[in-house]
């Protein structure tokens, strides 16, 4: 297949590009490098089937050649990024999504939207199924990401109904693994960085809030299954194994051998208390479920962070 991946230089996007190249597809990566990094593409730049085009998908752009699929991952996705760039986040979900939908319609290509578990907000239903409409504060600080993705889903569904576009929506739950940025504000990267640097692990609230963590290789398999499927979705992609933030901190300390302590901070506004996907639909329609145990995934992630030539103490 000939696949366009927006946000292809990011954490998740670069892993997807690699997996597509490995299976013999050609890939056109679009990225404005506001949070993506050239280093993430180091293993791809010499591949004959790979091309990277610096591009802001919220502006008008042209791509030549045939296209079989468009995968829209481009958006600030970590709390630190979308809180620092609220207007850019909203633009990526609105103008960016529609620009890529138009591209897919013109080329008669499959369009896959990477939505998020954040559309469920601080859920009143647990675990979260795709037919749950969510519990989101539409004007809170996190809403710039939540509502951007909710709009992206709405416009994707509207294009499917109005134009007959071949579209699919996946809702991605917490994903972790190599190439996460050390200061992106996500819980796994934050804990691993702090443990390796001998800093206290910052736990928000009492640490009793839960998360469900999916290793990046598993998540990419689910994305590719959706690319190859005609399903409209939405389909949850995530690991249904739930653990508390305190339990995660303890595992990271054990795997790193760190003697760091814990530092408790106030819970951020609108931070979800519980988050766990119901992946029945993914199992039944895509034949997908996560396979990598948390212990193995965390071990790979710790090893990657530990092997970096430097771990910056300030955001980069």
> What pLDDT digit, counting tens, does each position of 122-176 carry?
889 999 999 999 999 999 988 999 999 999 999 999 999 999 999 999 999 999 9
Strand spans (E) along the chain: 2-6, 26-31, 50-54, 69-72, 110-116, 167-172, 175-176, 201-204, 210-212, 214-215, 235-237, 242-244, 262-265
pLDDT at 311: 53
- Output the six-digit token pair for 179: 């190439």
Sign of the Cα pseudo-torsion (204, 206, 212, 216, in order):
positive
Residue % of the chain over a pLDDT of 70: 97
Residue 203: is the preceding peptide bond cis (ω within 30°)?
Answer: no
- Give the tens place of pLDDT for each residue, 45-56: 999 999 999 999
Cβ contacts of residue 23 below 8 Å, gap of 6+?
A: 224
Q: List Cβ neighbours of 57 (8 Å cut-off, separation of 6 or more).
A: 6, 30, 32, 72, 74, 92, 96, 99, 100
Tokens of 40: 């993430």
Q: How much is the pLDDT for 308?
A: 80
Q: Which CATH number fits domain 2-175+214-237: 4.10.910.10, 3.30.200.20, 3.40.50.720, 3.40.30.10?
A: 3.40.50.720
Point out which residues pair with 201 in neighbouring strands.
262
Extents of the domains making up the chain: 2-175+214-237, 177-211+241-273+292-307
Determine what percent of the chain is predicted with pLDDT higher than 90.
Answer: 85
Mean pLDDT of the chain: 93
Contact indicator for 157, 97 with CB cutoff of 8 Å: no
Q: Has residue 23 got a pLDDT over 90?
A: yes
Q: Which of 82, 120, 132, 145 is catalytic?
A: 145
3-state secondary structure of 39: helix
Phi, psi of 265 (to 5 degrees): -125, 160
Q: Tens of pLDDT along 282-309?
A: 999 999 999 999 999 999 999 999 998 5
The answer to whether residue 225 scores a pLDDT higher than 70 is: yes
CA gap 110, 169 in Å, rounded: 11
Instruction: Respond yes or no: is residue 145 known to be catalytic.
Output: yes
Kindly state the average pLDDT of the residues 226-241.
97
Of 210, 188, 187, 94, which Cα lies nearest the Cα of 145? 94
Structural tokens at position 311: 């771990």
Task: Tell me which architecture the domain covering 177-211+241-273+292-307 has in CATH.
Answer: Alpha-Beta Complex (3.90)
In angstroms, the CA 190 to CA 201 distance is 8
Q: Which of 59, 151, 82, 147 is nearest to 113 (CA)?
A: 151
Give the H/E segment covering residue 229: none
Q: What confidence tier does 316 reach under pLDDT thresholds 50, 70, 90?
A: very low
**Quick one: pLDDT band at residue 273, thresholds 50, 70, 90?**
confident
Each as own residue / partner, the long-range contacts of residues 141-144 (CB below 8 Å, 24 or more positions apart, any chain) are: 141/83, 141/86, 141/269, 141/270, 142/79, 142/82, 142/83, 142/118, 142/268, 142/269, 142/270, 142/271, 143/270, 144/82, 144/83, 144/86, 144/87, 144/89, 144/90
pTM for this model (two decimals): 0.93
pLDDT score of 278 = 97
């Amino acid at each position: 297949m000939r696949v366009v991946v927006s946000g292809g230089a990011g954490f998740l996007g670069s892993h997807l590009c690699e997996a597509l190249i490995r299976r013999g597809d050609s890939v056109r990566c679009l990225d404005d490098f506001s949070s993506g990094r050239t280093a993430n593409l180091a293993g791809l730049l010499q591949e004959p089937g790979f091309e990277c085009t610096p591009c802001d998908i919220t502006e008008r752009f042209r791509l030549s050649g045939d296209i079989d699929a468009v995968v829209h991952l481009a958006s600030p996705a970590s709390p630190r990024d979308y809180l620092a760039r609220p207007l850019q986040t909203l633009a990526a979900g609105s103008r960016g999504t529609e620009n890529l939908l138009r591209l897919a319609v013109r080329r008669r290509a499959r369009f896959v939207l990477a939505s998020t578990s954040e559309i469920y907000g601080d859920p009143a239903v647990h675990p979260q199924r795709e037919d749950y409409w969510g519990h989101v504060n539409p004007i809170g600080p996190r809403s710039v990401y939540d509502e951007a993705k909710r709009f992206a889903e709405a416009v994707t569904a509207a294009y499917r109904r109005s134009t007959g576009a071949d579209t699919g929506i996946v809702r991605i739950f917490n994903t972790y693994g190599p190439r996460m940025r050390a200061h992106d504000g996500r819980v796994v990267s934050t804990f691993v960085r702090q443990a390796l640097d001998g800093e206290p692990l910052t736990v928000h609230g009492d640490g009793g809030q839960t998360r469900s963590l999916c290793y990046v290789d598993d998540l990419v398999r689910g994305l590719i299954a959706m690319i190859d499927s005609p399903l409209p979705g939405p389909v949850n992609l995530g690991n249904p194994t739930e653990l508390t933030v305190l339990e995660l901190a303890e595992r990271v300390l054990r795997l790193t051998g760190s003697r760091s302590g814990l530092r408790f901070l106030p819970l951020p506004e609108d931070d979800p208390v519980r988050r766990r996907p119901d992946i029945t639909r993914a199992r039944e329609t895509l034949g997908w479920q996560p396979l990598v145990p948390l212990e193995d995934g965390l071990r790979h992630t710790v090893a990657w962070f530990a092997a970096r030539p430097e771990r910056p103490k300030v955001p980069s």
